[in-house]
Amino acid sequence: MSWKSKGFDPNPKSMVTKKLTLLLCIGCFCAGMLFSDRMWTVPEAEDKTISRAMGVKDERLKLISEGCDPKDVKHESKDILSEVSRTHNAIQTLDKTISNLEMELAATRAVQESIINGSPISDDLKIPETNGKRKYLMVVGINTAFSSRKRRDSVRATWMPQGEERKKLEEEKGIVMRFVIGHSATSGGILDRAIEAEDRKHGDFLRLEHVEGYLELSAKTKTYFATAAALWDADFYVKVDDDVHVNIATLGATLARHRTKPQVYIGCMKSGPVLAQKGVRYHEPEYWKFGEEGNKYFRHATGQLYAISKDLASYISINQHVLHKYANEDVTLGSWFIGLDVEHIDDRSLCCGTTDCEWKAQAGNVCVASFDWTCSGICKSVERMKDVHRRCGEGKNALWSEA
Nearest of 235, 179, 188, 236 to residue 207 by alpha carbon: 179
The 3-state DSSP composition of the chain as helix, strand, coil percent (nearest 5) reads: 55, 15, 30
Helix (H) or strand (E) holding 265: strand 264-270
Q: Tell me if residue 363 falls in helix, strand or coil.
A: coil
**371 close to 388: Cβ distance less than 8 angstroms:** no
Q: Which domains does the chain have, with CATH numbers?
A: 135-269+302-392 (3.90.550)
73-117 vs 310-319: helix crossing angle, rounded to 10: 60
Q: What is the pLDDT along the chain (403 residues), one digit of tens a residue?
A: 444 444 444 554 455 566 677 777 777 676 666 655 544 444 444 455 545 555 555 555 554 555 545 555 556 666 777 777 777 667 766 665 665 565 556 555 554 554 454 444 455 554 444 444 689 999 999 999 999 999 999 999 999 999 999 999 999 999 999 999 999 998 889 999 999 999 999 999 999 999 998 788 999 999 999 999 999 999 999 999 999 999 999 999 999 999 999 899 999 999 989 998 888 888 899 999 998 888 899 999 999 999 999 999 999 999 999 999 999 999 999 999 999 999 999 999 999 999 999 999 999 999 999 999 999 999 999 999 999 999 999 988 888 875 5
Contact between residue 221 and residue 329 where contact means Cβ atoms under 8 Å apart: yes
C-alpha gyration radius of the chain: 44
Rounded-to-integer distance, Cα 221 and Cα 205, Å: 15
Residue type, 55: G
Element spanning 235, H or E:
strand 233-241
| Element (DSSP H or E) covering residue 180 | strand 175-183
Dist. CA 345–CA 265, nearest whole Å: 6
Specify the pLDDT at position 88.
Answer: 64
Residue 292 β-bridge partners: none
Q: How many helices (H) and strands (E) does the chain have?
A: 14, 9
Q: Checking DSSP bridges between strand 343-346 and strand 135-143, what pairing results, if any?
A: unpaired
Q: Nearest Cα to 340, choosing from 237, 272, 274, 264?
A: 264
- Nearest-angstrom CA–CA distance, 266 and 301: 7
